[in-house]
Amino acid sequence: MNVEVRYYSKSGNTKKIANAIAKQVGISAKSIHEPLQGEVDILFLGTGIYAFDIDPELKEYISTLNPTSIKMVVVFSTAAIVKSAYEKTKKYLQAQGLNVSEKEYHCPGHYMILRTGRPNSDDIKKAEQFAKSIINSL
Ligand SMILES: Cc1cc2nc3c(=O)[nH]c(=O)nc-3n(C[C@H](O)[C@H](O)[C@H](O)COP(=O)(O)O)c2cc1C
Q: What is the average per-residue pLDDT within 9-18?
A: 98
Determine the distance separating the centroid of ligand 1 and the alpha carbon of 57, expressed in angstroms.
15
pLDDT digit string (tens) for 36-81?
Answer: 999 999 999 999 999 999 999 999 999 999 999 999 999 999 999 9
CA of 52, closest atom in ligand 1: 8
The answer to whether the beta carbons of residues 46 and 20 sit under 8 Å apart is no
CATH superfamily assigned to domain 3-136: Flavodoxin domain (3.40.50.360)
Strand bridging mode 3-8 / 30-31: parallel
pLDDT of residue 138: 79
Tell me the backbone φ, ψ of residue 9, rounded to 5 degrees.
-145, 115
Is pLDDT above 90 for 28? yes
- Taking Cα atoms as reference points, which of 36, 37, 32, 7 lies closest to residue 19? 7
Among 50, 52, 113, which is best to mutate for testing ligand 1, by the most ligand atoms less than 8 A from CB? 50
Determine the distance separating the centroid of ligand 1 and the alpha carbon of 58, expressed in angstroms.
14
pLDDT of residue 62: 98
pLDDT of residue 26: 96
* DSSP H or E segment with residue 111: none
3-class state of residue 79 by DSSP: strand
In the chain, domain spans: 3-136
Determine the distance separating the centroid of ligand 1 and the alpha carbon of 90, expressed in angstroms.
18
pLDDT of residue 75: 98
Residues facing 108 on adjacent strands? 79
Distance of CA 123 to the CA centre of its chain: 14
pLDDT over 70 percentage in the chain:
100
CA distance 35 to 49: 22
pLDDT of residue 99: 98
Residues near ligand 1 (Cβ within 6 A): 9-15, 48-52, 78-82, 109-111
Q: What is the average per-residue pLDDT within 2-7?
A: 98
